Amino acid sequence: MDFSSGKYNTILLRSVIMIIIIFISFYIMKIKFVSLINVIISKNQNISLGQNISSEQKMTCVVYIQDRLGRLGNRMFLVASAYGLARLHSCHLYIELEIINELKSVFILDLSPVLISSSTFNSLTKSSSKSMNRISQSVVCDYITTLTRPNAIPSGTIFELVGYWQSYLHFAKYDEELRQRIFVASQSILKKKIINPLKSNCLN
């Protein structure tokens, strides 16, 4: 009876170890695959970014941020999400100057391909010839899948982000642009060596 029990335990242990090995192997393959996809996406983004810049004047929707809830990290997520949505739907991006100045004290924050000035934004909102429909979307850490659909932010819309947009999926497609051009530490911050990576306060 003890021999049979010992044999059973050995088989069970080997099975568990085999399952763990398979799981780790799958995880490693997944990481390599995602890395490859990111390289491909990065190359395509460089092309699409140039196309986006050249077609800037054709943009007829605006992704907008004025909310300053939370700390610096949340505003980073707001900007990243807004940038991702603006790029995805070929919209302008407008961010209140106070938020811009705060982030520029830490980062280079090159949003030039899509960012519009306060005067341009005001002219759009106050234009009597063409009224803009204003929509506010409040989020608490959720990923809004409907925003990935075509025309989720239609022409003639000002789409305002409110709350805690802390799902990386809203900007994952443009991750390389964010890292290479936007959330790049300024020289003064690099000297202080206090930059930390973008980190969510939301539970995954």
The tens digit of pLDDT for each residue in 68-96 reads: 888 898 999 999 999 999 999 999 999 99
**Mean pLDDT within 92-107:** 93
pLDDT of residue 200: 59
One-letter amino acid identity for 198? Answer: L
pLDDT of residue 185: 84
Confidence of residue 67 (pLDDT cuts 50, 70, 90): confident
| Residue 22 pLDDT greater than 90, yes or no | no
Strand partners of residue 29: none
Contact 185, 107 (CB under 8 A): yes
Confidence of residue 52 (pLDDT cuts 50, 70, 90): very low
Region of poorest pLDDT, from 33-42, 144-153, 167-176, 186-195: 33-42
Higher per-residue confidence, 25 vs 93: 93
Percent of the chain with pLDDT over 90: 46
Taking the model in full, what pTM does it have?
A: 0.66
Distances (CA, A) of 39 to 46, 159, 175, 176: 11, 30, 11, 9
- The terminus-to-terminus CA distance of the chain in angstroms comes to 46
Which H or E run includes 93? strand 92-95
The Cα–Cα gap between 182 and 126 comes to 29
When the pLDDT of each residue in the chain is averaged and rounded to a whole number, the result is 77
| Residue 27 pLDDT greater than 70, yes or no | no
Q: How is residue 135 written in tokens?
A: 């929509």
**Mean pLDDT within 129-142:** 87
| Residue 153 pLDDT greater than 90, yes or no | yes
Contact 84, 111 (CB under 8 A): no
pLDDT of residue 68: 83
H helices within the chain, ranges in order?
2-54, 72-88, 97-104, 118-126, 175-177, 187-192
| Residue 163 pLDDT greater than 80, yes or no | yes
The SS3 assignment for 145 reads: helix
The SS3 assignment for 69 reads: coil
